[in-house]
Every structure is written in C-alpha cells, then in structure tokens.
Structure 1
Amino acid sequence: MSAPAPAQATPLVSPALGVFAAWSTARLTEVEAALEAALPQQAPAELGAAMRYAVLDGGKRLRPLLVWAAAEAVAGASLGPASHEAARRCACAVELIHAYSLVHDDLPCMDNDVLRRGKPTAHVRFGEATALLAGDALQALAFEQVLGLAQATETAALAARLGLCLAQASGHQGMAGGQAIDLAAVGRQLNLAELEDMHRRKTGALLRASVQMGALAGGADAAALAALTRYGAALGLAFQVIDDVLDVVADSATLGKTAGKDAAADKPTFVSLLGLDGARAYALALQQQAQAALHEGALPAPQTLHALADWVLQRSN
C-alpha cells in the first residue's frame, strides 16, 4: 500500500465510543478472571510469580477484545456455549502470547528496556534467566489454552485450526520473524514496503490472528473469515503506526513504557519515514481500509469491531 500525503486492565473507552464502554468492561472482567485462573499460583522457584507479574498487572487487552468482537461479529451478539468457551480460551491464548513476547522483547539481548506497563520489566524484577523462562512458559500455556478444546470431540478440529493460526502468527512467519527484521534494521533506513513487512509480522500478525481466531470460534464461513482477515491486517498495521506516533509525542508516564526509545536506538519507524503528519494520515487510511472490510463481509454484528478500529486511532497509550 502506498502511504497517503495500570494495576488492572484499562477498559478501551473514549467519549466517542459511548456504548462500547459497557461491552468492553464486561469482556475485560471475564478475560481477567480467566487469566487469573489459568496462570499458576505455584511454580518452581519464582517462575509462577514472574508469569503472573508479566500478565496480570495491566495492559490494554486489545487482542482478547478483538477475539470476542470477531466471534460476536459472525455469530451475532449472543454466542452459544461452545463458541463462548472457544472465544474465552482464544482470548486468554493471544494475551499470553502477547505477554511472552513483551517479556522477551524487553530483555537486554533484544530491546533492553526497563519499563513496561508503568513498572519495572520482568527481567529487572526477577532477573534475566527467570524472565526468559517465564516467557517460554507463557507461550506454552497459550497453546495449552487453545488445545484444551481438543478434549471434546466436537471441538477437536477447531482446536487444531486455532492452534495452527496461533503458531503461524507467533513464529518465523509472524512475531519472531518481525523481531528478527527489527533487530537487523537498527541504524538502517527501510523503505515503506520493508517497514510494512516488518510490522505486519512483529505487531500485526498477532492482532490479525486474534481476529481470525475469534471468527473461527464464532463459526465464520470462508467469506466472513476473508473479510475479517483483511480487517485484522489493516488494523494491525494501523496500531503500529500509531505506536510510532505515540513514541514521539507522548511521555513515559502516559505510555507506561520508555518514550522515545525508537529514535534513541536509531530504529526505522513510520514517523522517521513519513513524518508525524504523514504517519497519522497513513494510520487513518488503514483504519478506513479496516472498516471497509467489515462492510464488505456483510457481517451480522460488526459494530464492536468498528469501534475498536476507532479506538486504535484515538488511543493515548
């Protein structure tokens, strides 16, 4: 595409989103309870404590909300028991994968960051070795959540499909591959296509997978899944463009992480390539592309996904 000229999860609410507030709060309550139940109270040494520290203390929970919204978009506002259970497990899984990626990204061998979600990063709090193991364990726990659906014959095929989707978003085709490109790009100026490719993998892949997994949990047909995949791809890239903007214009207290670190590390960003105004215009074009995909899909209940796309552009952290 060519570029156009903190102790608890915070509900994704802004004055412009009105009715979205109650929906977001209800889904976040269920997600927090499910994560609390899934994470171990006891594990060898400080492993359990490090896992819980990385997951339970804050975060926007956008990925779980995308799962819920996509499931409801294809099934209607009310999910049946089996779809609800699948969506709940997927919502936990994508947040656990996201948390693991943050723990590893913050390590000294990666981005070497000391602040995440307004508190010391996991390796600062627990040491590098425990943080590394906590990330590994969170990744395994994510797949345990999804593959738990395989215990029932009627959802075994769905579990396999969901597990494949999550694996592809997490591995060399997705997050891990994007992080490898990111590390190799320090000090280089990428062109727009290269920058898009990096962030469609590093950030966008899991956001897109969250939408896809929710759609599958809700029983999406091929046409709905294709439309929601387009939505997720555009939204995932828009999220990263806004992240690059906020890294420049917001402070660390607002972001809950170190502001200005991309420029300090000489990393290529959408702002460094397009400028602030250009990056904002690019994000708006991607948001409109995402919302157009919802209309193309003729979904029964796309309103919440539409509101989430609005929030991505309006967010302040």
Structure 2
Amino acid sequence: MEFKAVLKEKASYIEKLLKEYMPKEEGYQKTIMEAMNYSLSAGGKRLRPILTLEACKSVGGDYKDAIPFAMAIEMIHTYSLIHDDLPALDNDDLRRGRKTNHIVFGEDMAILAGDALLNYAFEVMLLGSMNKENPNKYLNAMYEIASAAGINGMIGGQVVDVQSENKKISKEKLDYIHNNKTAAIMIGCMRAGAIIGNANDNELENITKYSKNIGLAFQIVDDILDIVGDESKLGKKVGSDIDNNKSTYPSLIGLEESKEEANRLIKEAKEALTQISNDTEFLSSLADYIVDREY
C-alpha cells in the first residue's frame, strides 16, 4: 500500500479513537466541551499520536498500552494551536481549513478551551496509567510529555518566539525556538511511546535522535511552505511569518539552503532508525514524507 494511503488509514484510526475519548457536550458547561471538540475534531495529519503508537511498536511494545498517551498528545497539540491562533499571538482566522476557535466561540471560550484540553489530557493519561503492573513506566512516559509541553519545551520555545518578533535573531536562537516550540512535542511523544514499549537505552537514544531531527525538519519545511505553499492544501494562511516579521530559516539562510538543511536532518533521522531492530519502515517513510511535503 502507498505510504500516503497508510498514513491516511492511521489518521482515520486516531480520529475514531479521539471520538471515544472526547468529553460529552452536556451540563451547564457544555459550551466548553463544544469548543474543545470543535478544534479537536478539525482533522489534521494526527502525526503526534501516530508517532506515539509507532514508537511503542518499533521497540516491540503493545501499541494499545500507549493509546491514552497518543490521545493526550493530540489534545495538548490542539490546545497549543487554539492559543497560537489568538489575537494576542499569531492572530489567525483559519486553521485546518476551518475558522479558528476564537472566531467561532470568542476569545474567552477559546482561552478556556485550550486550558481545558491541557487539563483533560492529563486526566486521560492518569486514567490510562492506573492499575498497571509497572506504574513507574507510565509515570515516566507522562513526565516526558509534560516536560516536552512545558517551560523547557513547547512553552519555552513559544516565549522566545513571541519575544523575537520584529527582531533579527541568530540561527542559534532560531534553532532553540524550533527545537522547543515544535520538535520537543515530537520528542516527548515518541520517548513516551518507546518507554511504554519497554525500550532499552540504545533504542530510546535512537528514537530521540529520530524524533528531534524530524521535528526540526518539520518546522523548517513549515517555514518554507509559509512562503511558497498552497493555502488551499495547507488549510491555513501563508505569509503569516512575513506579516508578523518573524525570523525563519529561509529569512536567515535562504530558501535553497533551508531545503538542504531539512534533507540533511531527514537523512540523519533515517540513519538512527537503522539502530532499532524492529520494523521501522513506516517511520522511515514518514521522515521522507515530512521533507517532501509540497513546496
């Protein structure tokens, strides 16, 4: 089966699971559930939950054990998108081909919907960790996701990103932003999946190398697509980085050099997979897909 068809099939599986995990829209507070579900059900590639399950499988684990964590990582990712789109940050009105959360529900509910998704993610992980034979394994996996989303991960990257607007920054600082705002979540979800799958030290090290490289490459390609991408295919506005006067890989090192850097990172990511003895064919193809997204 062609890779894109396999990816679509896996994304459909995640969609089905998310519907099972979504909170019911009821009670006095049902508006917040509607806002949560609106953004969580908006589609997307579902790469992060897929990566969580694939990391678990790649080290010989049972991917079903990692499902609550895969659901949680998508909730955390979605909360970050809701908040990113707010007028105080990127001020976007389109996400995944739909009106952004604050356009539909108002800024107040959008802020609360993001908060609710973050909290609900931890409820889901905790419930998925109870009554397990090895609770420390699940606590360690939860720590990986929490730290990846926190001040030394995604939030830290977002802070520096916001503070760097309208400023010319170094490549070192840009790498910090990309490695934390984007790559950290991919690293955290894959390390969590691998830990749940009982990865040994070598496997965990190479899963980390793979996820860090594809995470940074993913953001570099996003930088490129913000300049030359097709808005109808991306499901969001292009040119927002220029509008917000943000430093990006193309603005710092040029478009062609950015493509070369993304390709180098993907090559190294695939080399890391060769150190893992189980089937990593899907992860290898996914690395190619990340860098080959349409320019």
TM-score range, shorter chain: over 0.9
Runs of 5+ in structure 1 lacking a partner? 1-17
> What corresponds to 1:5 in structure 2?
none
> What corresponds to 2:252 in structure 1?
273
> What corresponds to 1:13 in structure 2?
none
Q: Which amino acid aligns with 1:314?
A: D
Q: Which amino acid aligns with 2:21?
A: A
Query: 30, 49, 53: which is aligned to 1:68?
Result: 53
Runs of 5+ in structure 2 lacking a partner? none
> What corresponds to 1:99 in structure 2?
78
> What corresponds to 1:35 in structure 2?
18
Q: Deviations over 1:24-60 (max 9, x none)?
A: 3443233112211111122504111100111112111
Distance 1:34 1:290 in 2: 28
> What corresponds to 1:311 in structure 2?
289
User: Deviation of residue 269 (structure 1)?
Assistant: 0.3
Identity of aligned residues (%): 37
Q: Which amino acid aligns with 1:58?
A: G
Distance 2:58 2:101 in 1: 36
Please give the secondary structure, in 1, of the residue aligned with 2:254: helix
Q: Which amino acid aligns with 2:203?
A: A
Paired residues in the alignment total: 293
Does the aligned pair in 2 maintain the 1:67–1:91 contact within 8 Å? yes
Q: Deviations over 1:176-229 (max 9, x none)?
A: 111100000011112211111111000010011121112112221111001110
Q: Which amino acid aligns with 1:210?
A: C
Distance 2:95 2:43 in 1: 10
More displaced 10-residue stretch of structure 1: 215-224 or 237-246: 215-224
User: Deviation of residue 19 (structure 1)?
Assistant: 4.3
Does the aligned pair in 2 maintain the 1:27–1:68 contact within 8 Å? no
Q: Deviations over 1:81-119 (max 9, x none)?
A: xx3332211211111110000000111111111110011
User: Deviation of residue 22 (structure 1)?
Assistant: 5.3
How do residues 65-214 of structure 1 correspond to structure 2 at under 5 angstroms? Answer: 65-75=50-60, 79=61, 83-214=62-193
Does the aligned pair in 1 maintain the 2:54–2:63 contact within 8 Å? no
User: Deviation of residue 162 (structure 1)?
Assistant: 1.3
Specify whether residues 34 and 90 from structure 1 end up closer, same or farther in structure 2 by C-alpha distance, changes over 3 A only. same
Distance 1:21 1:266 in 2: 34
> What corresponds to 2:279 in structure 1?
301
Q: Which amino acid aligns with 1:56?
A: S
Q: Deviations over 1:65-88 (max 9, x none)?
A: 11122112111xxx5xxx333221
Distance 1:172 1:262 in 2: 23
Please give the secondary structure, in 2, of the residue aligned with 1:154: coil
How do residues 209-288 of structure 1 correspond to structure 2 at under 5 angstroms? Answer: 209-288=188-267
Does the aligned pair in 1 maintain the 2:96–2:236 contact within 8 Å? yes
User: Deviation of residue 21 (structure 1)?
Assistant: 4.5
Distance 1:298 1:68 in 2: 16
Distance 2:198 2:4 in 1: 26
Q: Which amino acid aligns with 1:132?
A: I
> What corresponds to 1:12 in structure 2?
none
User: Deviation of residue 170 (structure 1)?
Assistant: 0.5
Distance 1:229 1:54 in 2: 29
Does the aligned pair in 2 maintain the 1:146–1:162 contact within 8 Å? no
1:20 lines up with 2:34 in the alignment = no
Distance 1:47 1:197 in 2: 33
